Structure 1
């Protein structure tokens, strides 16, 4: 699952001890630590896929 810290929250990865970037990070889907963070509101589960507007415009104009 792809997560982002909730606004105003700094999350630390328990394995690497590094902060999760505000842009988000992929974490284990079945890791109970991250499931608890999402359930507690410290992290937000988001879609990792972002649309690419530049390629969409290029394909329509061609």
Structure 2
């Protein structure tokens, strides 16, 4: 599971002593420290990444084809 800290909270990873930022970190869901921080609302599960666009795809709509 990947987590991020909520805005306004500074949460340290106990293993690395680094702050959990908006990029998030992967954690062991069974770790009691992270379970407690999740339950208290200090960290939340990171939103799922949007899948990348297929190769060659354009963000613009395809032109309409004539019949």
Q: TM-score, normalised by structure 2?
A: 0.71
The SS at the match of 1:52 is: coil
**Higher RCO (CA < 8 A, seq sep 6+):** 1
Aligned counterparts of 1:45 and 1:21: Cα–Cα separation in 2: 12
Which structure 2 residue ranges, 5 or more long, are not aligned?
63-67
Q: Which runs of 5+ in 1 are unaligned?
A: none
TM-score normalized by the length of structure 1: 0.75
Larger Rg, first or second structure (1 or 2): 2
Cα distance in 2, alignment partners of residues 57 and 44 from structure 1 = 35
Structure 1 moving runs of 4+ over 2 Å: 52-57
2:36 match: 36
Aligned residues: 60
Q: Name the structure where helix makes up a greater proportion of residues.
A: 1
